[in-house]
Structure 1
Amino acid sequence: MCGTTLTAAPVPAVLLNSGATMPSVGLGTYEIPDAQAESVIRWAARIGYRLIDTAASYGNERGVGAGIRAADVPREDFFVVTKIRGRDHGYDATARALEASLDRLGLDYLDLFLIHWPLPRQDRYVDTWRAMAKLSANGLVKSIGVSNFTPAHLDRLEQETGIVPAVNQVQINPRLAQTAWREHAADRGIVLQSWGPLGHGGSLLQDPVVEGIADFHGKTAGQAVLRWHLDNGLVPIPKTKRPSRLAENLGVFDFHLTSDDHRELELLDGAQSAMDPDTYEEF
């Protein structure tokens, strides 16, 4: 199968409503151990990754930060994302959480700070959002956003603060297309980052529809799925530790899916269920 070289095309950027630009494909670091994160980030930077996504709850901010500092890339060329965990929700706690994340990362500022989960039963995400807006105004964060927020949660943020997130990081792939969420985001100028963009357990990449589309374009199944995200205006952040897969995931800028491809992939929607942000709790 074609597409698994170690040279990557330059990664185009997308414009956020904050005025910042963000690479259109990034590296997710969920389940990359802290001890391995430095070497993974250094290799990823070498082949072209600039968007690096982590979270306080991942337990690898120190390794991610070490990799960023060790890379032969200026800090300002990276787009670094981390997320506030549930136990740190609240106006005063948010500033302390950012300080702790920056200390672990060894950085002076973040490019994007996200609320990891809304935790509506706790009901502190609006106060957390107000604190994040202040941190952004003070220059510690370039852009602010959320993760796993439903349209209803987003509407509440806008109604109570007047501030629309730059990004919502959402579980999306062709089997979980989240069409209503995508339409809501497009109406409000919110960029959606796709977590779990290749599905879970590998079954999506073995689907005959996906494999057929990949073969037609001379690409891997993973590349075909990542192209689906890009064609739909989404920013995928696939996670991997393997150098060959890191390179493969950037080899997606020299082709587009056809309208027939998209119609076939639309038929896969509904085959995967989502984690429910109204009930899921992460502390």
Structure 2
Amino acid sequence: MSELSIPTTALADGTPFPLIGFGTSSMRGTDGADAVAQALRAGYRLVDTAAQYGNEAAVGQGLRDSGVDPDDALITTKIAGGDQGREATREGLLGSLRRLGLPRVALTLIHWPNPSRGLALDTWRTLIDLREEGLTQHIGVSNFRPEQVEELIDATGVVPEVNQIQLSPALARPEAVAFHREHGIVTEAWGPLGGREGLGGQFALRKVAEKHGASTSQISLRWAIDQGIVVIPKSQDPTRQRANATLDGIALDDQDRALLASLDLGEDAAWDSREHEEW
């Protein structure tokens, strides 16, 4: 079976970055390791995990089992809410590296702003240090609103390379996407299939999928990568893994995009990181 050919975008420094990655939240133990190994062997190179997911050891095992050179795999992890702050962030990343069995990761994100703690800026300053030390090649944030990103930039002059946010045709987040584009930040979508929003059952999405002989998942993913948005769908099924990264034959037109735009529930339907916090 041929290896997947996954398109790329570029980070601000020009580094190629896959538009389709592999999400791992809820994948644990040997089954999780097997799923990661399968995805890497199929051709995925971007793998998303987090300290909060409790599966970094399984992701590291999957990488070793895959036979893929660790330097060719882009592993993303995230600093948990309880690990925010100057020293705690350093310990948090070192703990992630131990669990992953890696000397460095490709990308480290702040998982949530958690404004009640007031430590996002200290955490960001530490990530800047850790990037300079080579423990993480790239740094960014997750679930930050534009004004929360601006606070980091204004205080440090350093722009996050990625912001991973809740995004799908049901939550198109156009203001955030435009802000990221203006600042050279790559938008990465978690929940790109809109499961929480019941997107898969929507008539408009099914109509577009039928027109193209594709699955509703493939249409949602194509819609995102057409905008240069990175997606990280997750599946432990090898056939689904391949289908999620096989989008070349799908060309959405203006009529399709208009139908998909009708599905947007608006910004208020997304989790609000001024109030929602995770540890």
The normalised TM-score by structure 1 is 0.95
Asked whether the 8 Å contact 2:37–2:65 carries over to 1, the reply is yes
Separation of aligned partners in 1, 2:127 and 2:115 = 18
Distance 1:34 1:56 in 2: 15
Alpha-carbon distance in structure 2 between the residues aligned to 1:9 and 1:32 = 22
1:11 and 1:24 map into 2 onto residues whose CA distance is 7
Cα distance, 1:189 vs structure 2? 0.5
C-alpha displacement of 1:9: 3.5
Verify the 8 A CA contact 1:20 1:143 in the aligned structure 2: no
- 1:80-159 equivalent positions in 2, closer than 5 A: 80-159=75-154
Per-residue CA distance 1:108-142 (angstroms, 9 max, x = gap): 11100000000011110001000000100111111
Match of 2:271 among 247, 272, 275: 275
Q: What is the identity, as a one-letter code, of the residue corresponding to 1:107?
A: L
Shift of 1:212: 1.2
Q: Of the two structures, which has the highest relative contact order with CA contacts closer than 8 Å and spacing of 6 or more?
A: 1
Shift in CA distance, 12/162, structure 1 to aligned 2, threshold 3 Å: same
Aligned residues: 278
RMSD of aligned C-alpha atoms?
Answer: 1.4
Distance of 2:31 and 2:100 partners within structure 1: 14
Shift of 1:162: 0.3
Q: SS of the residue aligned with 1:142?
A: strand
Structure 1: give runs of 5+ residues left out of the alignment. Answer: 1-5
Instruction: Report the residue type matching 2:95 in the other structure.
Output: A
Normalised to the residue count of structure 2, the TM-score between the two structures is 0.96
Paired with 1:243 and 1:8, the residues of 2 have a C-alpha distance of 13
Aligned partner letter, 2:29: D
AA matched with 2:98 = D
- Give yes or no for the alignment of 1:254 onto 2:249: yes
Hey, what does 1:75 align to over in structure 2?
70
For structure 1, which segment, 13-22 or 81-90, has the greater mean C-alpha deviation from structure 2 after superposition? 13-22
Once residues 154 and 131 of structure 1 are traced to their aligned partners in structure 2, the CA distance between those partners, rounded to angstroms, is: 16
Measured in 1, the distance between the counterparts of 2:47 and 2:180 equals 22
Gaps of 5+ in 2: none
Q: Percent identity, aligned pairs only?
A: 39
